[in-house]
Amino acid sequence: MITSGRWTRVRIAVCGTVFAALFFAVGRRAYHLQVNDADRLRAMAEEQYLREIELPPRRGRILDRNGADLASTADVDSIYCNPRQLAEPRETARKLSRLLGVDRAELEKKLEQRRFFAWVKRKVTPEEVVAVKALGLPGMAFTREPRRFYPNRTLAATIMGHAGSDGGGLDGVELALDHQLRGTTSSVQGIRDALGRDIAVEGSVEAPSSAGSDVVLTIDRYLTFITERALAEGAAAHSAKGAVAIMMDPRTGEVLAMASVPTYNPNDPNGAEEVGARDRAITDTYEPGSTMKTFTIASALDAGVVKADDRFDCLMGRMMVGRYSIHDTHPHGVLTVAEVFKFSSNIGATKIARRLGRDAFADALNRFGFGHPTGLGLPGERSGVVRPVDKWGDIGLANISFGQGISVTPLQMIAGVSAIAGGGIYRQPRIIARAVAADGTIETLPVAPDRRVISASAARTMLGIMRGVTEPGGTARQAAIDGYNVGGKTGTAQKVSNGHYDASKWVSSFLGVVPAEDPRLAIIVILDEPQGGHLGGAVAAPIFKEIAEQALRYLHVAPTNEIVASAKGGPATGRDPVAARIPAPTAVPEGDEAANDAPATDLPLDDDALGEDPALSEKWDEVAGTEGGRTPGQPTERVVVPDFAGMTLGQAIHAARKSGIELAFDDPDGRATGVALRQHPAAGPAPRGVVCRVAFGRP
């Protein structure tokens, strides 16, 4: 029997054991919470009242070569709200959508969510801020955010691209150098209340060390402006689908201007893609047409297989290549290499390429950079297409010699001609000069080393040949600039549509350098599907002239020739009417089956050898009927009309141009075959500007 004293001790022991167990359990739990789970619980607690606030860095500027702002960043207001404080979300959405120009349904969806935070509209104008504050809506708040501005609006837009609302680059330079421009994101700790509102921020919100680098481009703002203006006006005048122009310094490879039509305003990029705004200089490829003859002849001169005065029989404008016939727009007899280029003979170019050989020609095209991206450093650059040489065949070699069956980018073409203008040295095109960090550190992008593509003597000879294109009788008299020697080449090529060349769709171009004896500028102008005329000499050459004239003045390039005054006392226009215009038949395959290596359709006609606006040919009868072809009011000057009797067409054209007179043809069928049989006026003195009509035939 347990006594009362003993029972008391048992109860005390039991209670002590229970309390000890409880104390051990509490201690164990406390140890687990305070030691083992301390970090996890601390983080959970801090998550409720601490907020890590990311500070977007100030995006670096984009500058032109002279330090002018092309893109910069400024702090602007953004509007947000606490949807829980809104009594009528739908009515609030209605008012704000009308005021801020945002989608009502989307805003209503945001405001009806029972959250503590929702963006109303980011990066608004000061006027919009004032208007929202005037509404007195509950829950509205404002904060400052950096916004990208493009002070020159559309200027160089397709080069720079634009940045998104989060500050990241989306296209062009903004995307290519996003890492340098964006800088490093920093953050600070903030404290928020039970409603999620920030009530205190620790640390400085200024983070100068994280600012993005400034990027300096090689382009010049003024040169870009005159290039864009001339290109836009030319494209509008010819109702072109698109257009591109590039200006390069052949001594350095620096791109001074690069323009595309259509363009857009990067401050408001909506709809840019729909209208086709893009950097066509690198994203679009095309068949270059006769501008490719520049590289055909330059490569042959470098290989030593031809000289400028070597002569080729151009077969009066028609030559068979397998089952196909190649045509020239103008029928020519024997022409020198320089005349093949000047008169843009497809047959002459084919014969020169044959003498060079397929392998050597393919190697030369590779050296000039065709078939490879130039490495400009902007996104979206294409490489073009040069078929493997073992698939060319005879017709393939012919096609490529005059710019068909090969696709290139405008940048590749200007880089190639700059190599010729730069003494035969290929310099990788550059548009990004350097990046300058906030601390002054300069970063330059790697550039491929210069390489020789043709000899210096071949380059000099080619520049001399190129001058003939803008001289009397050449295909681009409208590119001639008073006081300067201009070298260049026109191109007029049909576009491929549904696997066939489309006679209604053309690409018109002019590729030129100035001054030709010591080039300071290389410029290419290309119009896509111009209307009402498509000859490179009539469509693209005048745009080149307008750009080059203003650029030469701006760069203080002194004239190399004496400036000739016109009869009215002003500068000479340099525009001569075309000497003759003979309709050329479209090249067609002979027989029922085409050669395996030939295009799937007829060889397209590259008619830039016409050289002038076709409308001029309609005035021949009118001009021939005036007194010696002289416009009333002009002073009468005398020239000597040669005796054309017995001359072939090519010989007659050469003699006429040497004498400074113009030819027209009296042949009923317009073919001007055989030799000259009769002429009017007869040989002897005549007024300058006379049009001599010559009839050709078999004696």
Closest to 544 measured CA to CA, from 580, 491, 581, 493: 491
Q: How confident is the model at residue 588 (pLDDT cuts 50, 70, 90)?
A: very low
The stretch 545-569 carries a mean pLDDT of: 79
Q: Which residue has the tokens 């073009």?
A: 384
Distance CA 320, CA 595 (A): 12
Residue 574 · residue 477 · CB < 8 Å = yes
Strand blocks (E) in 529-661: 638-641
Residue 22 is predicted with a pLDDT of: 82
Is position 278 within any domain? no
| pLDDT digits 0-9 by tens, 457-509 | 999 999 999 999 999 888 899 999 999 999 999 999 988 888 788 888 999 99
Residue 452 lies in a domain: yes
- Which one-letter DSSP state was computed for residue 661? -
Neighbours of 514 (CB within 10 A): 29
The verdict on 14 and 102 lying in the same domain is no
The DSSP-derived string for 153-193 is TTTTHHHH--B-TTS-B-SHHHHHTHHHHH---EEEEEEE-
> Where is mean pLDDT largest: 204-208, 648-652, 668-672?
648-652
On whether both 246 and 189 belong to a single domain, the answer is: no
Give the type of residue at 160.
Answer: M
The reported pLDDT for the residue numbered 203 is: 43
User: Coil, strand, or helix at residue 18?
Assistant: helix
Give the domain-ending residue among 526, 554, 582: 554
pLDDT of residue 153: 92
Task: Classify residue 324: in a domain, yes or no.
Answer: yes
Please tell me the predicted confidence (pLDDT) of residue 193. Answer: 52
Label residue 626 by pLDDT band (50, 70, 90): very low
Rg (CA), the chain: 37
Q: How far is CA 270 from the centre of its chain?
A: 21
Over pLDDT 90: what percentage of the chain? Answer: 48
pLDDT digits (tens, 9 = 90+) for 263-301: 999 998 988 988 999 999 999 999 999 999 999 999 999
Residues 6+ apart with CB under 8 A from 639: 659, 660, 661, 685, 686, 687, 688, 690
pLDDT of residue 609: 35
494 and 422 housed in the same domain: yes
Residue 99 lies in a domain: yes
Write down the residue that tokens 């009515």 correspond to.
Answer: 91
Q: Which residue has the tokens 């006026």?
A: 681
Over residues 186-212, mean pLDDT: 52
For position 507, which CATH number holds? 3.40.710.10
Residue entry with tokens 């990067």 = 266
CB 190 within 8 A of CB 201: yes
Same domain for 348 and 415? Answer: yes
| The predicted structure's pLDDT at residue 45 | 63
In a domain? residue 559: no
Asked if 612 and 578 count as a contact pair (C-beta separation under 8 A), the reply is yes
- Domain match, 397 and 453 both: yes
> What pLDDT is attached to residue 577?
31
Residue 312 structure tokens? 């080729």
Taking residues 97-101, report their average pLDDT. Answer: 85
Question: Do 497 and 396 fall into the same domain?
Answer: yes
Does the pLDDT value for residue 625 go beyond 50?
Answer: no
**What range does the domain containing 629 cover?**
625-697
Asked if residue 692 belongs to a domain, the reply is yes
Residue ending a domain, among 554, 582, 606, is: 554
Amino acid at 636: T
From start to end of 207-262, where are the E strands? 214-217, 242-249, 254-261
pLDDT digits (tens, 9 = 90+) for 200-234: 444 444 444 467 899 999 999 999 999 999 999 99
d(CA 235, CA 229): 10
Average pLDDT value over all residues in the chain: 81
pLDDT at 247: 98
588 or 60: whose pLDDT is higher?
A: 60
Q: What is the CATH number of the domain that holds 669?
A: 3.30.10.20
Note the pLDDT of residue 543.
97
Q: Measure the CA–CA gap between 535 and 238, rounded to whole angstroms.
A: 11
What whole-number distance in Å separates Cα of residue 131 and Cα of residue 125?
A: 10
pLDDT at 53: 54
Annotated active-site residue in 213, 290, 325, 407: 290
- Reading the block at residue 441, the tokens are 């550190």
Same domain, residue pair 117 and 142: yes
Phi, psi of 274 (to 5 degrees): -65, -35
Check whether residue 254 and residue 187 sit in a common domain: no
**CA 192 to chain CA mean position, Å:** 51
C-alpha count within 13 angstroms, C-beta hemisphere, residue 182: 20
All residues at 6 or more sequence positions from 15 whose CB lies less than 8 Å from its CB, including other chains: none
pLDDT at position 612 over 70: no
CA distance 292 to 349: 10
Residue 145: is its pLDDT beyond 80? no
Q: What is the CATH number of the domain that holds 147?
A: 3.90.1310.10
Q: Flag whether pLDDT at 621 surpasses 70.
A: no
- Tokens describing residue 443: 């970063």
Residue 593 has pLDDT above 90, yes or no: no
Q: Is 290 a catalytic residue?
A: yes
Q: Is residue 365 part of a domain?
A: yes
| Structural domain ending residue among the three candidates 554, 583, 606 | 554
What average pLDDT does this structure show over 113-119? 78
Q: Say whether both 177 and 293 belong to one domain.
A: no
Q: Among 515-519, 584-588, 599-603, 655-659, name the one with the lowest average pLDDT.
A: 584-588
Most confident of 40-44, 367-371, 625-629: 367-371
Q: At what angle do helices 410-421 and 456-467 cross, to 10 degrees?
A: 110
Same domain, 482 and 370: yes
DSSP string, 312-366: EE-GGGEEEETTEEEE-SS--SEEEHHHHHHTT-HHHHHHHHHHH-HHHHHHHHH
What's the pLDDT score for residue 190? Answer: 52
For the residues 383-401, what does the mean pLDDT come to? Answer: 94
Q: Specify the range with the lowest mean pLDDT, choosing from 513-517, 519-523, 635-639, 695-699.
A: 635-639
Is 70 in contact with 210 (CB distance < 8 Å)? no
Residue whose C-alpha is closest to residue 125's, from 267, 266, 265: 267
Question: Helices 293-303 and 346-356 meet at what angle, rounded to 10?
Answer: 40
Which helix (H) or strand (E) segment holds residue 513: the answer is: strand 500-514
The confidence band for 3, taking pLDDT boundaries of 50, 70 and 90, is: low
Q: Is 638 exposed, middle or buried (0-12, 13-18, 19+ CB in 10 A)?
A: exposed
Check whether residue 159 and residue 248 sit in a common domain: no
Tell me whether residue 95 is in a domain: yes
At residue 432 the predicted structure's pLDDT band, cuts being 50, 70 and 90, is: very high
Q: 89-93, 393-397, 586-590: lowest mean pLDDT where?
A: 586-590
Percentage of residues in the chain having pLDDT higher than 70 = 80
**Total structural domains in the chain?**
4
pLDDT at 162: 92
Among 119-123, 378-382, 479-483, 560-564, the minimum mean pLDDT is found in: 560-564
Same-domain status, 394 and 426: yes
